[in-house]
Amino acid sequence: MKKILFLLSIIVLTSCEKSLIEEPKSLVVEAFFNTATEVETATNLIYSPLRNSNYSVYEATLECQSDYANGRGSWAPLHVFQGLDDANITRVAGLWNTFYLSIRDANLVIKNAPTGKSISKADVAKYVAEAKFMRAFNYFQLVRNWAGVPLRTENNMEVIDLKRSTADEVYALIVADLTEAETNLPDNPAVAGRPTKWAAKTMLADVYLQLGKFAEARDKADEVIKSNKFSLVPTVTKTDFQAKVWGPDLVSTTEEIFYLKYARQVNQGNYMLWISNHPDTKLFNFGGAYVIYLDVTSTYYKSWNSSDLRKGLWDLINFGLGANTLVSSKFTDQLAVSQVGAGNDDPVYGYSDVLLIYAEASSRAGNGPTESGMEALNKVHRRAYGKAPGVASSIDYNLADYNAATFLDLVLTERSYEFQLGGKRWLDLKRTGKVKEAVLAATGKTVADKHLLWPIPVSEMNYNKGLDPTKDQNPGY
């Protein structure tokens, strides 16, 4: 009897000790990344930090630094051009965190997918290519705003202290990632929003343009044009732009190349509508913060041809700074479900971008504008005037009227009209070396050198011993 009791107690105790092994009802990293579906859901996560309102904040931050647009409230110091104030230092710190969180999620896929147990080599190549496309996308934002940054790849993603790489090293990784993406990404997206090889070629063209490799930029853009997969959506009125080009009901369009996708779901919608709209217009049913505004008396606005439908997307609204303020109605949704619940996609790269990259690069690769470059520009120009994009028109710009310098200005102005609220203008002015001159002409303000780069955030400097707070911080901070 005693023996039995003793044995029984041993059994009870050992089964108890087993109860100390944790068995959560959730998945763990070690048992994941094995099937194509698992790798796909891990790849999907790369988009979340960007879509989660942050990329809209990023675009608005850049937009407020442009020569033509003003920032309101806490965004106003961006348009003073004397470096960032505390509120904006905090804001761009959030953007740094966003890009690096997305990079971590990409690195997880790049590192773990190749060792998956039941996934084909083709699927591994496809998802790794998608992750590398997104990693390059994030580094391209980082390097243009902070210059060199710590370069986190699948090989050092758990190393805490990491030195700052040079801008050249960052660009080398971007080009390598996009070159692999260009080869291994599919011809057509499985669903709108996933990058294709055409998206990779477009971004590569943009990167080459940034690096001054104009022939390469021209050729990559030309490959996308020659694929005949994309075309501009024709428009007749400004509401066509609001509904058929950037509308909340669209699933995709013929000009979509790489968009961040949004839907009318709580916290799954486009935050730019809240940032840009004014409550009085009732074009966004959750009001709006009217962060970005134009001045109706500015040379930029006055010199903008009134036949351009895009000009009509700025409404005169007196919100307290006088009668001359204009607020954007580019993105509208009256059936959004929450403040971050509007259905409009974010047109990060569209076909007009390819055409304008081609126009600029083809001119700068040679000695001036070419016929095909001018035609590419005119397609964007015609569509904005309600004309058929592919048909010559009386409003066309003529090749004979432009040299290399004036054509560059023409393209840059067209880009500023076409990509409003996209945050591209400030980066265009920086990359062409025109930023100080353009801002001085438009605003009378001198851009301080420290304003050209954003500060590395405290959340990095405090904890990364690989950085020297004196030497590695960007100038002026």
Partner 1 sequence: MIAGAISAPPTLTPYNDDGTYRTLAIAYPFVATDLVNPLNFINEQNNQTKANVALLNASLIFKPIESITIKVSGGVENRDDRTDNYTTRNFVNSSGSASVGTNQFTSLLSENTISYNKTFNQKHAVSAVAGFTYQDFVNTALSASGVGFLSNTPETYDLGSASTPGIPGSSYTKSVLLSYLARVNYAYNSKYLATVSIRRDGSSKYSEGNKWGYFPSAALAWRVSNEEFMKDNSFISDLKVRASWGLTGSQAIKEYATLNQLYSGKTVFGDALYNTYGPSTTLPGNLKWETTEQKDIGVDFGILTNRILLTADYYIKNTRDLLNNVTLPSSLGYTTTIKNVGEIQNSGLELGIDSRVLTGAFKWDVNANISFNRNKVVKLYGGQDILGGNINVVVINDVTNILREGRPLGQFWGYIEDGYDDKGKIKYKDTDGDGSITIKDKTYIGNPNPKYIFGFNSTMSYKNFDLTLFLQGVQGNNLFNASAMGSTIDYGFGLNMPREVYLNHWSTTNPNAKYPIISNSVNARVSNRYIEDGSFVRLKNIQLAYNFPLQNWGVKWVRTVQLYASGQNLLTLTKYSWWDPEVNSKGDANSTTQGVDSYSYPVAKTITAGLRVGF
Site residues (CB under 8 A) for partner 1, limited to 251-280: 251-252, 261-266, 268, 278-280
* CA distance linking residue 37 with residue 127, whole number of Å: 10
d(C-alpha 358, C-alpha 363), whole Å? 8
Residue 42 interacts with partner 1 (CB under 8 A): yes or no:
yes
Residue 320 found at the interface with partner 1 (CB under 8 A): yes
Strands 314-316 and 256-260: unpaired
Cβ(100)–Cβ(151) below 8 Å? no
Size of the site for partner 1 (CB under 8 A): 95
- Is residue 77 a contact residue for partner 1 (CB under 8 A)? yes
Q: Please, what is the minimum distance in Å from the beta carbon of residue 140 to partner 1?
A: 16
CA 72 vs CA 80, 172, 294, 306: distances in Å: 11, 37, 10, 25
The SS3 of residue 327 is strand
Among 34, 35, 36, 89, binds partner 1 (CB under 8 A): 89
Identify the DSSP state of 50: I
Side chain identity, residue 227: S
For the CB of residue 292, give the shortest distance to partner 1 in the complex, in Å.
12
Tell which positions 399-428 bind partner 1, by CB under 8 A: none
Interface segment toward partner 1; rule CB under 8 A; list 54-62, 156-164, 352-360, 397-405: 156-164
d(CA 463, CA 454): 18
Query: Would you count residue 108 as binding partner 1 (CB under 8 A)?
Result: yes
Shortest Å distance, C-beta 291 to partner 1: 8
Q: Look at the block and give the residue holding tokens 């303000």.
A: 445
Options 93, 174, 292, 410; binder of partner 1; rule CB under 8 A: 93
Single residue of 21, 228, 303, 433 touching partner 1 by CB under 8 A: 21
**Could you tell me the smallest distance in angstroms from the CB atom of residue 169 to partner 1?**
14
Both structure tokens of 360: 């600029």
User: Which of positions 230-249 make contact with partner 1 (CB under 8 A)?
Assistant: none
Neighbouring residues of 99: CB distance < 8 A, sequence distance ≥ 6: 49, 50, 138, 139, 141, 142
Site string for partner 1, 55-74 (x = CB under 8 A): -----------------xxx
Task: Return the residues of window 345-404 that contact partner 1 according to CB under 8 A.
Answer: none
